[in-house]
């Protein structure tokens, strides 16, 4: 479908209140050609709604050239951004430069989802290292980095205010020490992390520092029984589940 100057597989508006003149969320799917993101966002919104009024944006299954996201003033007003299965026509398909450019313009984000943000032939590289604009994004409360091939998590301001963190479907083989800075976490997902087997050090050095943690999603069947027992004994408030 043609939306402004862009070719999209589809778009959807959620939470449109005609009387109040507000929109909760805009979703764009399968962007095939987009000279600039600002214009199709404006064209996809209902009449009378300006891009600066948008608070939540989701982009799915899209290939974004870097130049399409470098001048998007509406991003400064977003509180939630979701990128799923996105790559770039620049930099051999890596989405990292596009994510960097988007996040530099969206300092007010409270919720961020980056899922499967690399092309198939870059799966092992994933988003490593994480874009600096993400690491420096203070104020985040909810972050999902599922299925990005991550092997480590760097320290940074982005961790300090997190209440939920999804690290499922990555390549972690230990709990990242930087997690201790996420002291406000109430929910952590490590599900479907095939290389991760928790040990006593993970409890001593990381999990025991997350005193507000209430929900932990794990591949329970692969965890040593004595480790699960230690978690139950030392963190009785913690609910452990198999699926996130």
Q: What is the pLDDT of residues 138-158, one digit of tens each?
A: 999 999 999 999 999 999 999
pLDDT of residue 208 exceeding 70, the answer is: yes
> Where do the structural domains in the chain lie, given as residue ranges?
1-116, 138-244
Q: How many whole angstroms separate alpha carbon 114 and alpha carbon 158?
A: 14
Q: How many whole angstroms separate alpha carbon 238 and alpha carbon 236?
A: 5
| Mean pLDDT in residue range 115-132 | 66
CB atoms closer than 10 angstroms to residue 149: 18
Torsion of CA 230, 215, 78, 118, to 10 degrees: 60
Of the listed ranges 7-11, 100-104, 120-124, 226-230, the one predicted with least confidence: 120-124
Architecture of domain 138-244: Alpha-Beta Horseshoe (3.80)
- Is 123 or 192 the better-scoring residue by pLDDT? 192
134: left (phi over 0), alpha (psi -120 to 50) or beta: alpha
Output the CA angle 131-136-141, nearest 5 degrees. Answer: 105
Output the CA angle 130-134-137, nearest 5 degrees. Answer: 150
Dihedral sign for Cα atoms in the order 40, 45, 47, 48: negative
Of the listed ranges 47-56, 88-97, 199-208, 210-219, the one predicted with least confidence: 88-97
- Is 96 or 201 the better-scoring residue by pLDDT? 201
| Mean pLDDT in residue range 65-70 | 92
Contact 212, 183 (CB under 8 A): yes
Q: What is the pLDDT of residue 5?
A: 72
pLDDT tens, residue by residue, 153-176: 999 999 999 999 999 999 999 999
Strand partners, 143: 112, 165
pLDDT tens, residue by residue, 17-58: 888 888 999 999 998 878 899 988 999 999 999 999 999 999
pTM to 2 decimal places: 0.93
Q: How many whole angstroms separate alpha carbon 209 and alpha carbon 112?
A: 24
């Amino acid at each position: 479908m043609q939306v402004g100057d862009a070719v999209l597989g589809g778009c959807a508006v959620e939470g449109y209140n005609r009387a109040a003149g507000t929109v909760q969320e805009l979703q764009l799917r399968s962007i095939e050609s987009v000279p600039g993101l600002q214009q199709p966002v404006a064209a996809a919104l209902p009449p009378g709604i300006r891009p600066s009024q948008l608070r939540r944006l989701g982009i799915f299954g899209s290939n974004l050239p870097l130049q399409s996201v470098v001048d998007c003033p509406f991003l400064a007003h977003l509180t939630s951004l979701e990128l799923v299965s996105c790559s770039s026509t620049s930099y051999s398909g890596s989405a990292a430069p596009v994510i960097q450019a988007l996040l530099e313009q969206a300092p007010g984000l409270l919720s961020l989802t980056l899922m499967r943000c690399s092309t198939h032939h870059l799966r092992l590289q994933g988003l490593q290292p994480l874009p600096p604009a993400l690491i420096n994004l203070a104020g985040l409360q909810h972050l999902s980095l599922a299925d990005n091939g991550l092997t480590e998590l760097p320290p940074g301001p982005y961790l300090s205010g997190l209440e939920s963190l999804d690290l499922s479907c990555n390549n972690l083989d230990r709990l990242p020490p930087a997690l201790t800075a996420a002291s406000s976490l109430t929910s952590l997902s490590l599900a479907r992390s095939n290389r991760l087997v928790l040990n006593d050090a993970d409890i001593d050095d990381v999990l025991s520092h997350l005193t507000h943690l209430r929900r932990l999603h794990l591949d329970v069947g692969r965890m040593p029984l004595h480790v699960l027992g230690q978690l139950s004994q030392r963190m009785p408030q913690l609910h452990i589940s198999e699926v996130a």
